[in-house]
Structure 1
Amino acid sequence: MNPTPRPAPPESFGAMLEQALGAVVAISERDDLRNVARAVSHAAWDRFIGSRGPRDNRQEHEWVVLANVLRIAEAERLTLSEKRVAVAFTFTHDSHFIPRISEQEVREARSPEAKVLLETRKEAQRYEHMRFGAANARSLLNRLTDPRTDDGPLLTAEEIDRCAQIISTHDAWKLRNPAPPPTGDRLALACVEGDALWPLHPLGVLADLERPNDQGVTKDFNDPQAWRVQTQQSCQTLVEFRAKWKGFPASDFVDGESIFRTQEGGHLYSAWRRHWNLTDLERGV
């Protein structure tokens, strides 16, 4: 009797993976990263992504983030090992579900007291998300073997440790007391910025619009104005938290308003802003 095949991502996701890998110039690196991406994405799909509920992110999230991360990683000239970590991060960073409290909810709080309560809940949720996500990643990655070898590990212990470390802080840049990665940690920047760009991608916008609130109500994703408001809110997050970051000189950033510190991350941010025709965003205080 043939064993039951393990669940795998839809075939269309394979095309998304190949498009993402196209950012990597060296063929040998691209082949190695394809091997890592296929192994990790299939395992993550089986364990986390394939069973996501409607209040979680869309299943395409990781594949869109992969394209962002690899474009930034290639532009930053990261090493192959660093790119392997970035790929592993991409498919494991959102492995622990939380009922998200959005920045829009915080902005629209009815009173200062309600805002503080939402920020406190959001902070607790995000720390839980990062802590358990890092543990999930470590557990999953430690079990994966390289199909090209005789049961050798897919990733080194150092690569797994690095991946888990980045996951454990990847959302800390948008908390009440933000803790973004150091500017010199270009691998962490590639991962964090690649993830931060997701809400500006059409699939990311749709994910926010179709996610039901506590009453089970979704936004009207057939209304063009709802799309515009959502993209404004998402872009606002990338601007207002820049002002809350302490200890970073202006020279670290690629522009005068956003959180982006890699040239490619800033380029993608600017391209999506032009795509959505977003101008005159308020800066955070």
Structure 2
Amino acid sequence: MYSKSIQTICSGLLSDVEDQEAKGILNDNIKDYSGKSLDSKNYESKIPENSEFPFVSLKEPRVQNNLKRLDTLEFKQLIHIEHQPNGGASVIHAYSNELSHLSPVEMKRFAEEFVDLVFSENENSAAFYVMGIVHGAATYLPDFLDYFSFNFPNSPVKMEILGKKDIETTTMSNFHAQVKRTYSHGTYRAGPMRQISLVGAVDEEVGDYFPEFLDMLEDSPFLKCTLPWGTLSSLKLESRKDSDDGPIMWVRPGEQMIPVADMPKSPFKRKRTTNEIKNLQYLPRTSEPREMLFEDRTR
């Protein structure tokens, strides 16, 4: 009842009589930070007219605080913050066309400033931003699948059967051919490729050490900072092969509806089981779905 009265006062829905009664409840229950009860005179003098009680307002001035944090940045005019209205999360954006006039030295300073801002945290070790996006920063990189299928066509990869739990081992060139054969509008009609390590395979891992490709990644000042051996990494690795945190590469077909008739068959033959008693039973006809939703989820 106490909390309901507070909420009703804030919404301005009480009548004059009820308003006075509710204020009496507040005067009896609200205490200042020293632990003393507040009378109506002290209440009016200590609390400004437009202020809000901590337990009344659920809204925090996050936007204002975040914008104030940009005032000390050197390249604040190149950083854009988007606030998602649904969950209240904040995302940092930067655009390559706005960064094109920066010199290499300035670009390095901007990358360090941008990455520091993306990974910044408050006093409770909670991140201020959920994501940092540099639009167009990877345009210099080739298509990864084309690159590996051309330069390492016989490299083994593990590929899932679309809609099945089976996994088959194939080559990079064969997987590339299956993707190109059915690719359309960002999706393809074949199974996903499991992750491969780009810094060398250990134990049952799949992959190899690709120094030329890693050099291309390091050409980006943003990746130069954030790779496991980057300038902002807490690890001091003697070699990129010593990394246990990747980078890795995988391929997903994209979320799509797939007709059941187009579902590929498993290449593995399963043992047939017969049950004569079950076959004698009358089994009602069931309607099978005509299509299946393939969710784009990594596991």
What range is the shorter-chain TM-score in?
A: under 0.3
Q: What is the TM-score with the length of structure 1 in the denominator?
A: 0.23
TM superposition score normalised by structure 2: 0.22
Structure with the larger RCO, 1 or 2 (CA within 8 Å, 6+ apart): 1
Which structure has the highest strand share of the two? 2
Larger Rg: 2
- Larger helix fraction of residues: 1
